[in-house]
Structure 1
Amino acid sequence: MIKNRMSQKILLYSFILILLIIPLINDSPEGIYEMMWILYLLPPILVLFYHGYKTGILTGLFCVLLQSSYELHEYFLHPEEYSFNNFNVTFAIAIAITTVTLSIGFLMRHREKKQIELEKLSQDLEFLANHDTLTALPNRRAFEQRMDEALQEAKDTDRMFALIFCDLDQFKNLNDTAGHRIGDLVLFEIAQRVKQIIRGEDFISRLGGDEFIIFLDGVSSPEEVTNITQAILSTIEQPIILDTLEYKISASLGIALYPQDSIDPSMLLQHADIAMYQSKARGNGNYTFFTPEMGKALLRQTRLASGLKSALARNEFTVVYQPLCDAKTGEVTSAEALIRWNHSKMGLIPPNEFIPIAEETRIIIPIGEWVLRSAVQEAKRWHDAGHMIIVAVNISCIQLEECHCYQKIQQILAETGLEPQFLELEITERVALSNPEEMIRILNNLRSIGIKIAIDDFGTGYSSLSYLKKYPVHTIKIDRSFIQDIAFEVRDRAMLKALLIMAKSLNFSTVAEGVETPEQFSILSDMGCNVVQGFLLSTPLSGEEFFNFITNRRMEEGQLLSSLG
């Protein structure tokens, strides 16, 4: 097969050459020599036809030079004896020179073509090394190079610049529900939008996943950074239409300034990252400037993350139990198991401080299993003493999605002997909606064996009630924020009443959290709330203290009934 147009041309010229030579051939010895020349030319022509011009030229060069050298050698050594005429000598020399010249020309052209191909390949590799394949934005490597250049320029010119760390909110949920193709298209669209918003001297890079870093060069003041940041948030929040469906995205931004926050590029990036997490803590679609206090918080978080790794082995965790009572009778119906961490050097650490770190590092899986086993063992001890109390245990999304979670819960119940209907698992609204289809499947499996499911801190999450009908929920726990002002705020009482009516219509049991005053207790009881929990009844108690609490309460109830009898 002829490989390229050059090979086609050489083949055509070779056949023309043969057709021109054939008429010159006669029966004389000279004619025989001429036929030998043709025979010498045929091999390279055939090689050229089947293997390409480079191999054909080299073969032709070898054949022609072999014959030509023999002819010229014989002629110059024995011209008086050599019968080859001047035409043949000239022909031999011409063929030799032409073949060498063509060979060199073709090889040089081939080398130039390869050089161009190599240069293009080198450019492509350089682009891939410095750019993200999905968005075509500069990647982390290119960002770091640009940062080094910017720092040197800033030192020379004494100017300020800003780093904005951008993380899309709830992007994992989008990937899980709409699919990774839609997620990729959203990332590409967001990248193009931000690229158009920022100034020509600015720079946007994708670090990976749903994280971007935006470099604002030569800003005059924090106010200018604020204006650009607000414009970025606004363009990100504009609806994205894909496959006729509308997607709304928000982002959390963290800002670090040079030289105020640091002159080190890695520290600047870290500070912007810290500020971004502060934005997330405030809610979706926010931005935050880094402050030194955030750096101190990061140091504390780092120490806590390190301490969590060995806290179980050092027996630094304990489980306490807070009673829940019937709002009508005052009878203790259940207990919520709560973890406490007494750090060996830092003292008592609040759960809302270390639980997020445990979830982020996935240490929550062994810690959560330990809490569940401890609580179930304690509840079995109560049952053996005749106190048929339900124990409620908080469980995280990471624990539920862990591949053997269902089997582990069954195993713990089997090993301790606690009946499943006396175990209640509390999840938050955020957990319930993290991966809806998978979460419904897991919770249905747990509900099928008798375990109760409760939604904790109800009303503080997505403010959407539509998911409730899809989940096998038994109880909703109304967050303390709805309870704390009901004694003197009419609007709060109205909202609480609406929640209780809705729960009753869906046949849910209701628990009011954070009950601290008799007035709150009375209002909740009158409104039809089923169960109350809070400091009015009791603070969280150790296992032994809780056992004594319910024992004494039962004795008091018995004495009251006896006196009434």
Structure 2
Amino acid sequence: MQSPQLFQQFPPPEANIIFAGDSAYPPFEWSGDNGPEGFNVDLAGAISVQGGTSVRYLLGEWRDTIEALESGDVDVAAMFVSPAREKLFHFTTPFYVVNHAVYASESHPQVNGAYNFSGQRVAVEERSVAHEKLLAEDLAVDIVLTASTQAALEAVLSGQADSVITTEPTAEYLIDNLELPLNRVSPPFWPSSYAFAVKHGRDDLHLWLQNALNAAIASNGYQDIYENWKSEIRPDGNSLIHIPFYVGYTAITAILFMVTFFLWSWTLRRKVINKTSDLQAALVRVSQSESHARYMADYETETDLARPHYFNQLVNEKLKQCPVNSELMIFRLIRLNEVSGTLGQSYSKELIETITARLKARITGPCCYFGRGTFALFSSRTEVRRFLEALSNEQTKQMPYIRYVAGSARFSKHGRSSEELLANADSALLTAFFNNKEWVVYDHSMDPSPKDQEIITALRTCSLEGMYAVYQPQIDIVTGQLTGAEALVRWQHPTLGALSPCDFIPLVETLGYISQVTEKMIDAAVDLAVRLREEGRPMVISVNVSVHDLADPAFFAKVKNAIQRCQGAFCDLKLELTETSFSSEIGTISETLTRLKCLGVGISIDDFGTGYSSLTYLSMFPVQELKIDQTFVFNLEANTKNCDIIRSTLMLAEHLKIKTVAEGVEDKETLSKLRELKCGCAQGYFISKPLPEAEFLKFIKEYSAPGQA
């Protein structure tokens, strides 16, 4: 039974955790007649019991499993720890150690390890630890890559390789069960720790996994599994002791009895000592692991400040003492994204580190970092005011390219709990932001309107009932044929009625709930694209995405899963990125866009010409299309400057081999002028207003090119 003194219960991050592994790696994991089997599979089951959630075990080729873990398509995989893998994954405490060895035909001479058979053809499973080590240590061997350990062994039998480097338990299991004429020709080497791995950035999953594994190890679960598989995962390598034949039977019996008794006594004593030592070491590891896991759960890794949930807890504990003249303040760095895009990520990081150091030096109460340049602190009013004054003075000297806004709420006038104070301080911060003030103290007049409050409540509870997509068609300007459509969000709120995007998008972006809307639009676009393809009318559907979406490490997996879930085509989805989306977290965004483009998803810059660093972004990201903003398209015939801007943009796009779409086409004259300028596609009310799905499908059936109806 799990001990409540040793283990804090951490909730599972998801209702169903997906474990992945190698489909041909017995005795640890393989695809049996009744599904996944093996030591790792049983251990995952024990973790499921201790962790309080269900798990699913998916098996495939090992190289595909690692790629799935890297992309976030699966949650957990058991693998050997290595320096290269530690750069990609976060590992749990190791639960087993496995040796490697060299295997070859019976005629192959004995070798001392992996270092003295240069020039040979050595088979290894692709992306295995053996593969990594051969590459890292630059051994003079010809590497033969295979999809599995069994395929590596068979490569020797077929003459494609001279030997195999692999793990002992798996090689011994396959050689015995498949009756392969191969032997181990080296002593064990490269001992490797076996552990569960999760992708970096999934701290909640790692925390839950480590806690559940600790509980399984400390309970009988792990020991029972180990005893059940011990004979398979610990190959018997002991040699026999031959007694000379001329020793008398009686002497043999007496000697064997004495030796047996002595060995039994000595072994028993050593077992007790070792078991006691192992138990003590395990308890120490559990305690250390629990402490580390608890710290990781409570403190933000970039700043070492409290995470929001722990900040709330600390503030509420302070409030129990009814502190007089205490104040909770939130402050946010303004235009941090733009500054980072101009001066670089290093400047942004140094800025956050500088402010964090000032907080730790000047504030005695709890401090918190929400991310994206937003901090919170709780202390006396005097200390809060002095910190803000110091921040204002340092802004001019040390942070000339950044400004901040702050909002605060006071105990107990503005709230008697951390949650109330945070909400009211946030309202004050928004007031400061929209009124261009540095610092505002909350008062009741700042409360959101009932309409805004209801929208905020719906967003916070993920209740997006009535939110749907409308579709505005796009056409090829030369042929007049339909080429695609842009999905735009609308909201028929259950109680507020029809809401314009102007009513809720600013709140969505300000409060950080844009990802909910994006996911809903992507799902709607993919679903429509699938149906159109099934009807024989494939069409690209575009969806707008924000910086919050692109900077999310899980965004790639979300898009990929949405398309695969509907069995759609990647080429039927296009992501439209506003230029301001590119001003922060360049590395993450570039990687995400590149991976999506490799799948076939289209990448477009929306509102081109109105944002920041347009030309720089064209060189940084795998852009395939520019959407010319409607401000340049409106009244195009009469505005010669806009006409010149569009002409220059089209020439640039032509040289870069990028497609173009003009937005906001309102009349026939504008469409004709765009055709004259050789713009590729057009979108606007002259073609069609944004249409609900049913009307859009009807529009497609009845459509004829403008001017041809």
Q: Under a length normalisation based on structure 2, what TM-score does the superposition of the two structures give?
A: 0.45
Partner residue, 2:355:
187
Q: Secondary structure at the match of 2:489?
A: strand
Partner residue, 2:44:
none
> Are 2:529 and 2:540, in contact at CA under 8 Å, matched by a contact in 1?
yes
Partner residue, 1:97:
none
2:648 counterpart (488, 494, 498): 498
Deviations 1:260-292 (A, max 9, x none): xx985899997775464356568xx86597999
Partner residue, 2:468:
318
2:453 counterpart of 1:302: yes
For residue 458 of structure 1, report the CA deviation from its aligned partner.
Answer: 2.4
Q: Report the residue type matching 1:277 in the other structure.
A: L
Structure 1 residues 294 and 205, CA gap change in structure 2 (3 angstroms): farther
C-alpha distance in structure 1 between counterparts of 2:528 and 2:563, whole Å:
12
2:359 counterpart of 1:168: no
> Are 1:165 and 1:212, in contact at CA under 8 Å, matched by a contact in 2?
yes
Structure 1 residues 184 and 360, CA gap change in structure 2 (3 angstroms): closer
C-alpha distance in structure 2 between counterparts of 1:531 and 1:342, whole Å:
31
Partner residue, 1:36:
none
Q: Answer with 385-394 or 489-498: which moved more.
A: 489-498
2:607 counterpart (457, 460, 479): 457
For residue 442 of structure 1, report the CA deviation from its aligned partner.
Answer: 0.9
Q: Secondary structure at the match of 1:387?
A: coil
For residue 438 of structure 1, report the CA deviation from its aligned partner.
Answer: 1.0
C-alpha distance in structure 1 between counterparts of 2:569 and 2:546, whole Å:
22
For residue 474 of structure 1, report the CA deviation from its aligned partner.
Answer: 0.8
Structure 1 residues 293 and 320, CA gap change in structure 2 (3 angstroms): farther
> Are 2:325 and 2:380, in contact at CA under 8 Å, matched by a contact in 1?
no
2:547 counterpart (397, 402, 419): 397
For residue 429 of structure 1, report the CA deviation from its aligned partner.
Answer: 2.0
For residue 230 of structure 1, report the CA deviation from its aligned partner.
Answer: 13
1:508 counterpart (658, 676, 685): 658
Q: Report the residue type matching 1:167 in the other structure.
A: R
> Within 5 Å, which residues of 2 pair with 1:215-230?
none
Partner residue, 1:443:
593
Q: Report the residue type matching 2:334 in the other structure.
A: D
For residue 483 of structure 1, report the CA deviation from its aligned partner.
Answer: 2.7
Q: Secondary structure at the match of 1:341?
A: strand
What is the root-mean-square deviation in Å for CA atoms of aligned residues?
4.9
> Are 1:164 and 1:253, in contact at CA under 8 Å, matched by a contact in 2?
no
Structure 1 residues 555 and 174, CA gap change in structure 2 (3 angstroms): closer
Q: Secondary structure at the match of 2:480?
A: coil
Structure 1 residues 166 and 391, CA gap change in structure 2 (3 angstroms): same
> Within 5 Å, which residues of 2 pair with 1:334-349?
334-349=484-499
Deviations 1:367-420 (A, max 9, x none): 433332222121222223332321112233333444443334333333434322
C-alpha distance in structure 1 between counterparts of 2:354 and 2:589, whole Å:
25
1:236 counterpart (392, 395, 405): 395
> Are 1:253 and 1:275, in contact at CA under 8 Å, matched by a contact in 2?
no
Aligned pair count reads: 386
C-alpha distance in structure 1 between counterparts of 2:441 and 2:629, whole Å:
31
> Are 1:166 and 1:251, in contact at CA under 8 Å, matched by a contact in 2?
no
Q: Under a length normalisation based on structure 1, what TM-score does the superposition of the two structures give?
A: 0.54
Q: Answer with 401-410 or 359-368: which moved more.
A: 359-368
More helix by share: 1
2:700 counterpart of 1:547: no
Partner residue, 1:17:
none
Q: Secondary structure at the match of 1:249?
A: coil
2:518 counterpart of 1:368: yes
Structure 1 residues 272 and 399, CA gap change in structure 2 (3 angstroms): closer
Partner residue, 2:682:
532
Q: Answer with 321-330 or 295-304: which moved more.
A: 295-304
For residue 548 of structure 1, report the CA deviation from its aligned partner.
Answer: 1.4
Q: Which runs of 5+ in 1 are unaligned?
A: 1-131, 152-162, 196-202, 218-228, 241-247, 561-565
Partner residue, 2:405:
253
C-alpha distance in structure 2 between counterparts of 1:555 and 1:531, whole Å:
13
> Are 1:251 and 1:286, in contact at CA under 8 Å, matched by a contact in 2?
no
> Are 1:164 and 1:215, in contact at CA under 8 Å, matched by a contact in 2?
no
Structure 1 residues 294 and 364, CA gap change in structure 2 (3 angstroms): same
Deviations 1:176-197 (A, max 9, x none): 92178623454279889xx9xx
Q: Secondary structure at the match of 2:649?
A: helix
2:430 counterpart of 1:277: yes
Q: Report the residue type matching 2:395 in the other structure.
A: I
Deviations 1:86-141 (A, max 9, x none): xxxxxxxxxxxxxxxxxxxxxxxxxxxxxxxxxxxxxxxxxxxxxx999xxxx999
For residue 471 of structure 1, report the CA deviation from its aligned partner.
Answer: 0.3
Q: Report the residue type matching 1:249 in the other structure.
A: Y
Deviations 1:13-35 (A, max 9, x none): xxxxxxxxxxxxxxxxxxxxxxx
> Are 1:271 and 1:290, in contact at CA under 8 Å, matched by a contact in 2?
no
2:649 counterpart of 1:479: no
> Are 1:252 and 1:279, in contact at CA under 8 Å, matched by a contact in 2?
no
> Are 1:254 and 1:275, in contact at CA under 8 Å, matched by a contact in 2?
yes
Structure 1 residues 507 and 533, CA gap change in structure 2 (3 angstroms): same
Structure 1 residues 190 and 510, CA gap change in structure 2 (3 angstroms): farther
Percent sequence identity over matched residues?
A: 26
C-alpha distance in structure 2 between counterparts of 1:410 and 1:302, whole Å:
34
C-alpha distance in structure 2 between counterparts of 1:269 and 1:402, whole Å:
25
More strand by share: 2
Q: Secondary structure at the match of 1:460?
A: coil
C-alpha distance in structure 2 between counterparts of 1:549 and 1:271, whole Å:
48
C-alpha distance in structure 2 between counterparts of 1:250 and 1:150, whole Å:
30
C-alpha distance in structure 1 between counterparts of 2:405 and 2:521, whole Å:
35
C-alpha distance in structure 2 between counterparts of 1:190 and 1:517, whole Å:
57
> Are 2:329 and 2:425, in contact at CA under 8 Å, matched by a contact in 1?
yes
Partner residue, 1:50:
none
Q: Report the residue type matching 1:307 in the other structure.
A: A
Q: Secondary structure at the match of 2:691?
A: coil
Structure 1 residues 184 and 426, CA gap change in structure 2 (3 angstroms): closer
Q: Secondary structure at the match of 1:465?
A: helix
Q: Which runs of 5+ in 2 are unaligned?
A: 1-302, 306-313, 383-387
> Are 2:579 and 2:614, in contact at CA under 8 Å, matched by a contact in 1?
no
Structure 1 residues 483 and 263, CA gap change in structure 2 (3 angstroms): farther
For residue 322 of structure 1, report the CA deviation from its aligned partner.
Answer: 0.6
Structure 1 residues 319 and 183, CA gap change in structure 2 (3 angstroms): same
